[in-house]
């Protein structure tokens, strides 16, 4: 039987003996950072177990068998300080991709790169990670307004890697090294927009070099706007051909209607916070984007794509784009190539349309994230989960994809971490309860239907102060004050320290979850049905039933969202059912408060 190595009494003792963040002076933090980097560099990577090597080879492994790790390379680990400024000073072709480094500023580059990710592959492998999802790594505009493109979403050149993170050759090496460990690599890609190059005469003047009214925005103008009142787009002198491929420099291939206000026509045709919105209704754009990403598949052989801002692109675009990319990957022998889209919506009715109409194999399951938050953070009844899963039939795809292929998560780089939601909750949770609820939220993510994603840093107890920049802390030692004052969970470290601690409670528990997940195909591919839920905090029980090439397997997973132990009897389970895992010690036939248990049914 799998059994958690840390029961609740031990956890309480750990927290009582000082797992609170300590503050450090800037000098002390820098000294600590230098010492930590030296220690990590000296680590013998052979101590790490090659867990992924024991699984089905990545070329044949089903998407539903993955455990993802979502990471911003800039905030992970600096393996090559020589690229911290991006493009070389003499590189006039890439001049817009130079600069933006300020390790004290949460909106600037911090130096993490592909070399750093490559060095840390053993750390991820040892945690049971089988697939790595990178934020976009194509060449960005380094600076826009008063912040930088450290996140990767301001692409100028769709053919090469941003010099802040390395080179095309370094990306290929990273993928090769990951594949050698039997770990897949997924690229985050964008079709909705490019970096901000196009300006509007009415907002920026006839040269496009400054705002006519400082800080004003170019308000969206819909298609009914008279021709004489529409924006006059222009490209500032010297930036006429900065985008690659060259067709992206054609100003007529953009909507040019001003900033989106995220509703109505603006949701599709508006500029995403000033970024140049591509007109995806034009066939030249459709064909051009398909060619861009076909070429990336051909050159780098990634295992799949996460697609940004899909709900801000015309559905007709996806109807062509998705099948074309899947077919191209298959033609190259990448038979399990997979794509999933980001549609920031908590409604399955909308999310599912990208599968059924847009022919996309999968999407990020924002609806599940919202339901997990409802029951774990906001103490809603577990029936909230039942209501959500009752809509799983909406996701049936003509090519056989379904709700089991949805990509699950507890938090991300936009909305923030589940730990932050707990910290900012009206329930004023203690640190020990935040620890338990964070673990329970991740257990719901791992063992409900769908493919789990760990957001980088969650395994080290990162919390944050909100979403966006406030949830993008460094794993390597940080010099950002608003990061370093955080009280991290289940550790006495701060983000001023190196945070690759393989003994951290969350790291250990997530590794354990991954081991359990990989040991039982029913938890990965089994059909899910609801055994029990209630209209208040308490039990939520599901059955995962698998019957296929690997035989037959039926498991039950029982979660307890209340703080008190609960009998399994209301779920219809017998006390004699075979217990194969419990998250905390408890009496026979009981599920510990804020815990879960897994039973073999046959």
Residue whose pair of structure tokens reads 């379904």 in the numeric block: 402
pLDDT above 90 (res 24): no
pLDDT band at residue 397, thresholds of 50, 70 and 90? confident
Q: What is the pLDDT of residue 398?
A: 84
Element (H, E) at 369: helix 366-372
What phi and psi, each to the nearest 5 degrees, are found at residue 419? Answer: -65, -35
- Average pLDDT rounded to a whole number, residues 174-196: 98
R_g over Cα of the chain: 24
What is the mean predicted confidence (pLDDT) over 569-575? Answer: 91
What pLDDT digit, counting tens, does each position of 109-150 carry?
999 999 999 999 999 999 999 999 999 999 999 999 889 999
Q: Which residue has the higher pLDDT, 39 or 182?
A: 182
What's the pLDDT at 32? 39
Model confidence at 16: pLDDT above 90: no
Amino acid 212: pLDDT:
86
Which tens digits make up the pLDDT trace of 351-380? 999 999 999 999 999 999 999 999 999 999
Question: What does the pLDDT read at residue 36?
Answer: 39
What's the confidence (pLDDT) of residue 38?
35
Which tens digit of pLDDT belongs to each residue from 281-332? Answer: 999 999 999 999 999 999 999 999 999 999 999 999 999 999 999 999 999 9
Place of tokens 């170019």: 218
Is residue 496 within 8 A of residue 29, CB to CB? The reply is yes
Q: What are 453-484's pLDDT values in tens digits?
A: 999 999 999 999 999 999 999 999 999 999 99
Angle at 271 between CA 267 and CA 273, to 5 degrees: 100
Which of the following is catalytic: 125, 276, 342, 436? Answer: 342
- Concerning whether 319 is annotated as a catalytic residue, the answer is no
Rounded CA separation 77/111 (Å)? 7
Check the CA dihedral 469-474-479-483 and report its sign: positive
The beta strands (E) that lie in 320-377 are given as: 338-341, 362-363
Segment 339-355, tens digit of pLDDT: 999 999 999 999 999 99
Pairwise CA distance, residues 469 & 366, whole Å: 20
Q: Can you read off the two tokens belonging to residue 438? A: 């964070």
Taking 50 as the threshold, does the pLDDT of residue 21 lie above it? no
Neighbours of 264 (CB within 10 A): 12
Q: What's the CA gap between 276 and 291, in Å, rounded?
A: 19
CA angle 5, 533, 419 (to 5 degrees): 50
State the Cα–Cα distance between residues 116 and 135, nearest whole angstrom: 15
Q: Quick check: is 308 catalytic?
A: yes
* Strand 451-455 versus strand 527-532 pairing type: unpaired
Query: What fold characterizes domain 524-600?
Result: Immunoglobulin-like (2.60.40)
Give the separation between CA 589 and CA 403, rounded to whole angstroms. 30
Cα angle vertex 391, ends 385, 395, to 5°?
125
Phi, psi of 261, rounded to the nearest 5 degrees = -115, 20
pLDDT of 439 above 50 = yes
* Distance from C-alpha of 448 to C-alpha of 71, rounded to nearest angstrom: 23
Q: Return the number of other C-beta atoms located less than 10 Å from residue 185's C-beta.
A: 22
Q: Which residues contact 574 (CB under 8 A, 6 or more apart)?
A: none
Look at residue 206 and tell me whether its pLDDT is greater than 60.
Answer: yes
Distance, CA of 445 to CA of 450 (rounded, Å): 8
Mean per-residue pLDDT of the chain: 92
Say if CB 111 and CB 74 are below 8 A apart.
yes
Predicted local distance difference test score (pLDDT) of residue 215:
66
Residue 5 has pLDDT above 80, yes or no: no
pTM for the complete prediction? 0.93
Beta-carbon count within 10 A of 215 CB: 6
Q: Do domains 65-179 and 524-600 have the same CATH topology?
A: no
Kindly indicate whether the domain formed by 65-179 is annotated with CATH number 3.30.750: yes
Number of H helices, E strands in the chain: 18, 24
DSSP string, 432-469: HHHHHHHHHHHHHHHHSSSEEEEETTGGGT---SSSGG
3-state secondary structure of 58: coil
Give the per-residue pLDDT at 47.
Answer: 56
d(CA 402, CA 392): 8
pLDDT in tens, 32-67: 333 433 333 333 444 577 999 999 999 999 999 999
Catalytic residue selected from 308, 470, 498, 512: 308
Q: Concatenated DSSP letters for 208-252?
A: SSS-SSTT---B---TTS-GGGS--EE--TT-TT-SBSGGGG-GG
- Mean pLDDT, residues 444-461: 98
Q: Which are the contacts of 295, defined by CB distance < 8 A and separation ≥ 6?
A: 159
Greatest Cα pair distance in the chain: 78
Strand, coil or helix: 143:
strand
Q: Give domain limits for the chain.
A: 65-179, 196-279, 524-600
Q: What is the per-residue pLDDT across 234-292, written as a single tens digit (0 to 9) for each? A: 999 999 999 999 999 999 999 999 999 999 999 999 999 999 999 999 999 999 999 99
**How confident is the model at residue 145, as a pLDDT?**
84
Measured CA to CA, the distance from residue 307 to residue 286 in angstroms comes to 15
- How far does Cα 135 stand from its chain's mean position? 8
Query: Is 415 a residue whose pLDDT tops 80?
Result: yes
User: To the nearest whole percent, how much of the chain has pLDDT over 70?
Assistant: 92
DSSP output for 10-41: HHHHHHHTT-S-----HHHHHHHHHHHHHHHH
Pseudo-torsion of CA 221, 222, 225, 228, nearest 10°?
A: 50
What is the spatial distance between Cα 558 and Cα 586, in angstroms, rounded to a whole number? 13
Residue 214: the pLDDT is 66
* Strands 566-567 and 590-591, sheet pairing: antiparallel
Distance (Å, whole) CA 556 – CA 570: 13
State pLDDT tens for residues 507-558: 999 999 999 999 999 999 999 999 999 999 999 999 999 999 889 999 999 9
Tokens found for residue 271? 């500029």
DSSP string for residues in 329-375 = HHHTT-TT-EEEE----S-HHHHTHHHHTT--SEEB-HHHHHHHIII
Q: What is the pLDDT of residue 23?
A: 32
Alpha helices (runs of H) in 459-563, residue ranges in sequence order:
481-484, 505-519, 521-525
């Amino acid at each position: 039987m799998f059994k958690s190595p840390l029961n609740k009494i031990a956890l309480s003792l750990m927290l009582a003996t000082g797992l609170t963040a300590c503050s450090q002076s800037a000098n002390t933090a820098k000294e600590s950072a230098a010492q930590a980097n030296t220690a990590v560099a000296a680590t013998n990577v052979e101590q790490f177990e090659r867990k992924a090597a024991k699984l089905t080879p990545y070329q044949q492994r089903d998407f539903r068998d993955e455990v993802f790790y979502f990471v911003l390379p800039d905030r992970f680990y600096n393996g090559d300080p020589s690229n911290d400024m991006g493009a070389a000073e003499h590189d006039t072709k890439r001049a817009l991709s130079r600069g933006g480094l300020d390790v004290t500023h949460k909106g600037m580059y911090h130096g993490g790169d592909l070399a750093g990710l490559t060095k840390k592959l053993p750390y991820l492998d040892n945690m049971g990670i089988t697939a790595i999802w990178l934020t976009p790594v194509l060449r960005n505009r380094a600076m826009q307004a008063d912040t930088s493109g450290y996140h990767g979403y301001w692409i100028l050149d769709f053919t090469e890697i941003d010099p802040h993170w390395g080179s095309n050759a370094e990306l290929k090496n990273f993928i090769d090294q990951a594949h050698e460990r039997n770990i897949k690599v997924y690229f985050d890609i964008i079709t909705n927009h490019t970096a901000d190059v196009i300006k509007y005469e009415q907002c920026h003047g006839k040269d496009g070099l400054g705002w006519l009214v400082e800080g004003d925005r170019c308000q969206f103008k819909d298609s009914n706007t008279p021709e004489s009142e529409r924006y006059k787009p222009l490209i500032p002198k010297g930036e006429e051909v900065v985008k690659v491929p060259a067709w992206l420099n054609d100003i007529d291939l953009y909507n040019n209607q001003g900033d989106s206000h995220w509703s109505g026509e603006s949701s599709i045709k508006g500029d995403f916070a000033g970024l140049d919105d591509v007109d995806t209704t034009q066939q030249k754009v459709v064909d051009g984007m398909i060619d861009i990403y076909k070429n990336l598949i051909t050159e780098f052989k990634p295992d799949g794509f996460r697609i940004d801002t899909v709900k801000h692109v015309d559905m007709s675009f996806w109807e062509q784009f998705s099948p074309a990319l899947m077919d191209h990957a298959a033609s190259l022998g990448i038979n399990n190539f997979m794509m999933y889209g980001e549609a920031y919506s908590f409604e399955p009715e909308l999310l599912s349309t990208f599968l059924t109409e847009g022919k996309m194999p999968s999407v990020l399951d924002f609806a599940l994230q919202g339901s997990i938050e409802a029951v774990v953070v906001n103490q809603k009844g577990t029936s909230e989960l039942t209501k959500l899963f009752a809509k799983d039939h909406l996701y049936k795809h003509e090519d056989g994809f379904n709700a089991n292929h949805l990509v699950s998560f507890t938090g991300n780089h936009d909305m923030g971490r589940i730990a932050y939601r707990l910290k900012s909750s009206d329930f004023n949770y203690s640190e020990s309860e935040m620890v338990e609820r964070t673990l329970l939220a991740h257990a719901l993510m791992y063992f409900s239907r769908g493919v789990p994603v760990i957001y980088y840093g969650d395994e080290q107890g990162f919390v944050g102060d909100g979403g966006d920049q406030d949830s993008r802390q460094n794993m390597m030692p940080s010099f950002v004050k608003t990061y370093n004052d955080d009280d991290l969970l289940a550790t006495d470290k701060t983000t001023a320290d190196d945070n690759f601690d393989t003994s951290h409670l969350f790291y250990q528990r997530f590794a354990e979850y991954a081991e359990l997940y990989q040991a039982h195909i029913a938890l990965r591919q089994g059909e899910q049905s609801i055994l029990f839920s209630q209209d208040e905090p308490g039990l939520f029980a599901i059955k995962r039933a698998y019957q296929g090439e690997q035989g037959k397997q039926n498991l039950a997973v029982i979660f307890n969202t209340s703080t008190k132990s609960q009998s399994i009897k209301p779920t219809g389970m017998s006390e004699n059912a075979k217990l194969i895992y419990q998250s905390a010690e408890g009496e026979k036939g009981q599920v510990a408060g804020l815990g879960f248990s897994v039973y073999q049914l046959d």
